[in-house]
Amino acid sequence: MLLHSGPRLLPPLPLRPKLGRRMGQMVAFDPKVDFKPDVNVQVPVNVELGGLPLSIGLFLGSGLSFLLRPQLPEGFAKTTALVLGAGLAVAGITNLILPKAHAAAPSAPAAPGSAPTTTAPTAPGGAAAVSAPAGVAVSDQGIFDGISGQVTYPGEGESVNIWPFASSYPIRVQVYNPSAAPATFYLQIVANESPLPFGNAARTTFPLQVTVGPGQTRDIDINMPISTWAWNVKYVDVALSVYKQRMAGENPVLMAQRYLVVS
């Protein structure tokens, strides 16, 4: 037997495929995105004394103090958080019942060609100050037809600020009698009230009897009752109507209207 001691031939190795030139190139990727939004957000929140937004902020601060208090060490830190939370809560409640500044009633102008204006004194409800004397007869139809009137306070769309537990708000009605004889008749003040954000709409009527001298313009200050004012009411939209009535049982005649806000 012949033994072959020469070199062994190994099977040829498989050739690697040639990579294209583009296969070995590195592709750079820049994830940076340049985004500049132009957004202008405006929230009309009026933070003022007596306003709800300020009270909400105080209540949130109080709640945050009480939430953080258990995480604080015993001693001065916990006591401070307790006092701060209670103080903010009391401040929030106080702010809700804090009234805004009352606007002063402007002087009502006299009608052209009339006598100087006389101002009736203000009385609770207004009736005691403007009622006609006992025994005074109502005016005849001709004098009554000539009576005119207007609301001189508050102005159209103006706000009247009252206390949280008030039961009335001030208004001023001006009445003019152009005749040569005194006029005695009834006024009926009717207010259609719409409370917000809580409450149901209501209608409030306030009647009173007045006497206006010949050629006289009279300003009548009235504390108009309000039916929908409550602790949870922020403001009340009021549509005010002023009627004149010659005598009980006759149809009232509209003289003036005014829209106002009680807050």
Condensed to tens digits (0 to 9), the pLDDT of residues 185-202 reads 999 999 999 999 888 999
**Mean pLDDT calculated for residue range 14-42:** 49
Q: Is the pLDDT of residue 129 over 80?
A: no
DSSP-derived 3-state class of residue 251? coil
State how far the Cα of 189 lies from the Cα of 173, in Å rounded to an integer: 9
- Judge whether residue 218 has pLDDT over 70: yes
- Position 45 scores a pLDDT of 44
**Helix residue ranges, H only, the chain:** 52-68, 76-96, 127-130, 141-146
**Does the pLDDT at position 87 exceed 70?**
yes
Quote the distance between the C-alpha of residue 65 and its chain's center.
30
Residue 126: pLDDT over 70: no
Q: How much is the mean pLDDT over the chain?
A: 74
* Cα–Cα distance measured from residue 92 to residue 101, given in angstroms and rounded to the nearest whole number: 19
Can you name the CATH fold of 118-262?
Answer: Immunoglobulin-like (2.60.40)
Gap between the terminal Cα atoms of the chain: 125
Residue 135 Rama label (left phi>0; alpha psi -120 to 50; beta):
left
* 146 contacts 177 by C-beta, under 8 angstroms: yes
User: According to the model, what pLDDT value does residue 116 have?
Assistant: 33
| Greater model confidence, 188 or 6 | 188
Task: Answer yes or no: is pLDDT of 93 > 90.
Answer: no
Judged against a pLDDT cut of 90, whether residue 78 lies above it is answered with: no
Q: Which residues pair with 171 in a beta bridge?
A: 222
